[in-house]
A and B are shown apart, each in its own frame.
Chain A
Amino acid sequence: MGAEVVVEGLTKSFGKQTIWRDVTMTLPAGEVSALLGPSGTGKSVFLKSMIGLLKPERGRCLINGVDIVTCSERQLYETRKLFGVLFQDGALFGSMNLFDNVAFPLREHTRKSESEIKRIVLEKLDITGLAGAEKKLPGEISGGMRKRAGLARALVLDPEIILVDEPDSGLDPVRTTYISQVFLDVNAQIDATFLIVTHNINLARTVPDNIGMLYRKELVMFGPREVLLTSEEPAVKQFLRGSMDGPIGMSEEKDSATAAAEQALFEAGHHAGGVEDISGVPEQMQATPGMPERQGVRRRKDRVMSILHTLPPAAQRHIIDSLSPAEQHHYNVRQVWR
């Protein structure tokens, strides 16, 4: 099972500028979580802080009892072996071909024979749809392929935690969905904890079990997907719709004058962009049939039902709706709001 990541009161600033403060959340073990947020809210910085590439000023980030923020360098390097990280551009080593890139962690950290390494590498390249491209150099392939190769490299040590930085950047919507499917299948196979940082709404609505959103230097919410997808919070609604109409502006937050001016335009008939209908909780993507059952889904169900009473009513309604009659009986809940 993947490792649980507990983040407590994490605060990060560059000089005087605070990036985000007091971020507290728990990535449940083996579940897929997504972190949303407008551009420039420090999502990537958050990811880098979780693996100790950046040092937050305050707070803790606990993985298997090790605090990444304060631990020794030796512990840091040890703990990092639990992580697989997919960087935005794949961050492949430019001087090595794809095979050597994917084999790199195995050669560094294991004593596997070269034939075994070859078997594992080819298997991971196959999962990510790169079979036959192993002799290519990173400079010779497309951005999407680099990303998939980066994923293959991140998977090769069977990590317990997989961090993904903007899987959709540079990919078309179809490929984004394909790569999301790979995430879910991997999650089903090795039960790793996922954190996907993205601003892709399609992905956010259909892939993760839990969603959080960074906005105004804070984590405005983090919880089961139903909570954010049914949220009435203006910024969240605007973000999900992708509309100009709302508190999020071109750069940071809108001031009241800009908001009023824009409002006047929209009322005069100017299209605010985005789509109107984002209400409701779309069905979640599943692991491909034939894959093992996602253990995270079952654990999440138990976990969510145990905190059900703390969730907003709209989210509660959706969660109960999504249960089968047998499960409703099991958890002793009924669809009272219908």
Chain B
Amino acid sequence: MTAQQQREHYRKPSPPVAALSQAGRLFSLAWEVLRTLVTRRLQFREFVEQFWFIASVSILPSALVAIPFGAVIALQLGSLTVQIGAQSFTGAASVLALIQQASPIVTALVIAGAGGSAICADLGARTIREEIDAMEVLGVSPVHRLVAPRVLAAMLVAILLNGVVSVVGVMGGYFFNVVMQGGTPGAYLASFSALAQLPDLWISEIKALIFGFIAGVVAAYRGLNPGKGPKGVGDAVNQSVVITFLLLFFVNFLLTALYLQLVPAKGT
């Protein structure tokens, strides 16, 4: 279904029905993007440009968020572990929390906030200026040409950025634990492998991948279906960020629950 058809399918039904139909159309766009990514040749140039753009707007903010985030986790765990006499596990617990939870979420929030909002605004402006219509009329699918490269770029940036955030976060945690709380440098590093295992790294990257996909698809969906006029685009950007945040935390909950069920903790 084309973007415009989707747009005018909407005809003020009751709120629950409207919400469901919005969700349905979001999913159908997600499916179309996946299908396009698999079956059609990637618009490589557009992909590289978008990748570069998203990376350039997200690297610095995510690193800046990662340092205090790692620090907070380390500080919190540091004082907790002292209370229960498990100081030597501070590093182990904080690296686990950081890699499994904090890092993918921080990455996705930054990508949604910095990259996704820009994608949404860009596509929204193009939609109200009839550029998207023109593209469809020229026989070019906007999903193939514009949306798929953006979503893929968001996914790839999320994976790579997730690594950066993990490293920076762990370094921040180390600094605060060792320097501020007087923890033992050796113990902090040595305990990394006490609780954490390789699948933790995998789930971290899988989460980042999925979150990047969600951020890209939601931004594209709201961008292709803005309200009327410039204000409609503004509202769409706002909504895309909010919707992405809500979805992220929900999906994170699902993935975490699944992971904890499927992958046995180390030593059990």
Contacts and interface: CB of A to CB of B under 8 A. Distances in A.
Interface string A10-30: 000011000000000000000
A80 B139 contact: yes
A105 B138 contact: yes
A334 interface: no
A91 interface: yes
Interface stretch (A48-56, A212-220, A240-248, A294-302): A48-56
B140 interface: yes
B228 interface: no
Contacts of B141: 77
Interface string B124-162: 011001110111111111000000000000000000000
Contact of A15 (B12, B126, B136): B12
Given A54-B4, A54-B8, A80 B138 contact: yes
A153 B1 CA distance: 25
B5 interface: yes
A83 interface: yes
B1 A83 contact: no
A51 B137 contact: yes
Given A52-B2, A54-B4, A89 B139 contact: no
Contacts of B126: 93-94
A91 B130 contact: yes
A87 B138 CA distance: 12
Contact of B8 (A14, A78, A94, A105): A14
Interface in A31-75: 48, 51-55, 73
Contact of B5 (A53, A91, A109): A53
B11 interface: yes
A150 B135 CA distance: 12
Contacts of A94: 125-126, 129, 131
A58 to B, nearest CB: 16
A92 interface: yes
Contacts of B5: 52-55
Contacts of A77: 139, 141
Given A54-B4, A54-B5, A80 B136 contact: yes
Given A85-B134, A94-B126, A53 B4 contact: yes
Q: Which of B129, B136, B138 has the most CB of A within 10 A?
A: B138
A112 interface: no
Nearest to A17: B11
B25 to A, nearest CB: 14
Interface string B1-31: 1101100110110000000000000000000
Contacts of A108: 138-140
B129 A91 contact: yes
Contacts of B12: 15
A254 interface: no
A91 B134 contact: yes
Contacts of B129: 89, 91, 94
A78 B140 CA distance: 10
Contact of B133 (A73, A81, A91, A109): A91
A48 B4 contact: yes
A108 B136 CA distance: 12
16 contacts: A14-B11, A54-B4, A55-B8, A73-B2, A78-B139, A80-B139, A81-B139, A87-B130, A87-B134, A91-B131, A93-B134, A94-B125, A94-B129, A105-B138, A108-B138, A108-B140
Given A48-B133, A53-B136, A73-B2, 16 more contacts: A14-B8, A15-B11, A51-B137, A55-B8, A76-B2, A77-B141, A80-B137, A80-B138, A81-B139, A85-B137, A87-B134, A89-B130, A91-B131, A91-B134, A93-B134, A150-B134
Closest 9 A-B residue pairs measured CB to CB?
A91-B134, A91-B130, A15-B11, A81-B139, A80-B139, A85-B137, A53-B4, A105-B138, A87-B130
